[in-house]
Amino acid sequence: MRIVLITCWLLIGLSSQAQNLKIKSNYQDKGARNLSFKTSNIKGSLSATNAKLKVRLKNLSSETVIINAANCSLVDKSGRGTQLCAGDLALESGNSITLLFENCSARNYNEGLFGLKNFYSTKSQFKEDSFFLKNKEFILDISGERILFYTD
């Protein structure tokens, strides 16, 4: 019985692992699960799945950064994009926060980020749908701060 439970947990872990996207800061770099970034007003890191974009932010400016659905988006090089939702908040100077962005502009319940679905029942379906993401350029815009990255 113990072996069956361990096998189930292993399979669940592998299937959820398959939906993580590797990202990188330069076209030539090797992709990783996390990407660190720094702009003039914020610094942080991001990681991505087909359904959520996890962003850790620290406000480096002396002003409060207002974050809401109206000023957060994820756009690819061709201009196609997604409005991102994470709730409305104000990030005070020097403070840090972790945000989980989701697709606000989804037309149906299973429309995720990066042109992918929110859920895949098999690893092979995910790999097939995500094939077009190799070395694709994206811009994450958070309150006017633009973070350029590539999927791998």
What's the pLDDT tens digit per position in 62-72? 999 999 888 99
Domain boundaries, the chain: 2-151
Instruction: Check residue 70 and give its pLDDT.
Output: 86
Instruction: Check residue 69 and give its pLDDT.
Output: 81
Residue 2 has pLDDT above 80, yes or no: no
Q: Whole-angstrom Cα distance, residue 85 to residue 87?
A: 6
The model carries a pTM of 0.83
Asked if 131 contacts 67 with a C-beta cutoff of 8 angstroms, the reply is: no
Q: Whole-angstrom Cα distance, residue 120 to residue 110?
A: 9
Residue 4 has pLDDT above 60, yes or no: no
Q: Whole-angstrom Cα distance, residue 12 to residue 92?
A: 39
What's the pLDDT tens digit per position in 56-105? 999 999 999 999 888 999 999 999 888 998 888 999 999 999 999 999 88
Q: Whole-angstrom Cα distance, residue 107 to residue 136?
A: 23
Mean pLDDT, the chain, rounded, equals 87
Q: Which residues are bridge partners to 82 per DSSP? A: 74
Name which residue leads in pLDDT, 4 or 140.
140
Asked if 84 contacts 103 with a C-beta cutoff of 8 angstroms, the reply is: yes
Beta strands in the chain, from DSSP E residues, in sequence order: 20-21, 23-24, 35-38, 42-49, 53-59, 65-67, 72-76, 81-85, 89-91, 96-103, 137-142, 145-151
In this prediction, residue 17 has a pLDDT band, given cuts at 50, 70 and 90, of very low
